Amino acid sequence: MTDQNTPAPEVQNAEENKLIAERRQKLEQMRENCKANGHRNDFKRENLAAELKAQYGDKTKEELAEAGIKVSVAGRVMGKRGPFVGFQDSTSRLQVYMGKPLQKESDAWQKLDIGDIIGASGTLQLSGKGELYVQIEELNDFVILTKSLRPLPDKFHGLADQEMKYRQRYVDLIINEETRNTFMIRSKIIETMRFYLSQRGYIEAETPMLQTIPGGATAKPFETHHNALGIDMFLRIAPELYLKRLVVGGFDKVFEINRNFRNEGLSTRHNPEFTMIEFYQAYATYHDLMDLTEDMLRTIAETVLGTTTIKYGESEYDFAQPFQRMTMVEAVMKYNPEFDVTVFNNPEENFEQLKAYAKQVGVPDSPKQAAWGPGKYICEIFEETAEEKLDQPTFITEYPWEVSPLARRNDDNPFVTDRFEFFVGGRELANGFSELNDAEDQAARFRKQVEEKDAGDDEAMHFDDDYIRALEYGMPPTAGQGIGIDRLVMLFTNSHTIKDVILFPHMKPLAD
């Protein structure tokens, strides 16, 4: 449905095509007068808008006039008002000014359109409204460097179509300061993580994205084919097994900021290609990593946002406070107080009762259920009834071994593992555990995964012989963790869909 004041699509297209034709004509005229085929590359920018504002923004009009500060700026035209042209560079916005006599002589000024990329040299001045601007004093000090052939969206509405914001992110970034700020925050979060771990002795590594056996997580992989080797391969679903090979090799602290690929559905929380950070530390436990996670997230908040208080939707989180910690069974009982806790404390003896509880809370039927054990049912009940209610920062610990094929069993209760997941706003942001370094136990767990795969679970793991061989050489006691960077950025930028924090999210192709 079209807004009453918005032209119909066919009218909009006709108007846009007319503007494009006019701009192409201007470009042709520029080409006739320019050796660079209309796209100049001889202008040297020496100043950025934000730096000029920071350095001279507190000067008076008289002080600037007397100083005669010469500057050279460049950026994209975002508005024209009389003798003023507003432009933006990568840091901020600024204006340039050209008097009427020069305007009449300037071919660049006559051919200027919103969206053009310009270069300008002149003297820094202050307007009557207290805004800095660059005064053009010579005809050749104002040039069009790149002609924009397509008009930008209406400046008052921006890129209104949400889907087109994702498909044409380049336009979204030009128009929307909020979008640019989101991705600046994303960059700073990654930079702070890298610095935090490097300062604590972690070594950054790079592991294969193309793998002959996808491992390190339970997920359906993307498949491809390597022509030269003549073998089928997979895009990695996680770097975990390779990073732990490095621990075997003597890298006691190692991390990777990595792209992972999982052949799963799209949602507000899922993109098939996503970014994680995974890190591993020898001679540490999952308790050590929970402590490190608290401190690292607190440091990121302070460094990137300047505060430990994060607002997300209607909620507010204070990362300066200790994060809550509870076991999976404790979380289930907290949100299902009517359940009999002895059923969960003795799950193998009360398997049928667990199945009944799962059905009672609405765990959906699945053809894979034939291979489910009591641990899987407990995890499903948790995800169905408790996970989304974990609003404040919370570590959930003691995951059943059945759903934790790479985690170390707990010494006191071998039904569970020394594993945690970290939740904020009902969303999982991190997964960590004391690593399983018993080669024989790991082999048995891989075999169990293969059985589940044979039973129809296309997310179950393969058996990785080489990883077992690595463990047989001996891996020290180790703790490891992965943090979803996309979801963390969602939290820190108050974004409610993962597409808002991925520059180029996956979309269905538009029909011709």
Residue 495 backbone class (left: φ over 0; alpha: ψ -120 to 50; beta: rest) = beta
Give the whole-angstrom CA distance, residue 78 versus residue 98. Answer: 16
Residues whose CB is less than 8 angstroms from the CB of residue 491 and which lie 6 or more positions away in sequence, other chains included: 310, 312, 424, 425, 427, 429
CA–CA separation, 467 and 443 (whole Å): 9
Rounded distance between C-alpha atoms, residue 218 and residue 431, angstroms: 13
Instruction: Give the closest residue to 215 by CA, choosing from 397, 416, 466.
Output: 466
Alpha helices per DSSP H over 200-312: 240-248, 286-300
Helices 465-473 + 240-248 axis angle, to 10: 30
Cβ atoms within 10 A of the Cβ of 402, count? Answer: 22
Per-residue DSSP letter, 499: G
Q: What tokens does 287 get?
A: 């308790």
Count CB-CB contacts under 10 A for residue 481.
26
Q: What is the DSSP string of 168-214?
A: THHHHHHH-HHHHHHHHHHHHHHHHHHHHHHHTTPEE----SEESS-
Count of CB atoms situated within 10 Å of the CB of 109 = 19
Name which of 142, 103, 101, 96 is nearest 119 in CA terms: 142
Q: With the C-alpha atoms ordered 407, 413, 416, 419, is the resulting torsion angle positive or negative?
A: negative
Q: Is 428 annotated to bind ligand?
A: yes
CB 434 within 8 Å of CB 407: yes
N-to-C CA span, the chain: 21
Whether 163 has a binding-site annotation, put simply, is no
Query: Which segments are annotated as binding site?
Result: 421, 428
Query: Which segments are annotated as binding site for Mg(2+)?
Result: 421, 428
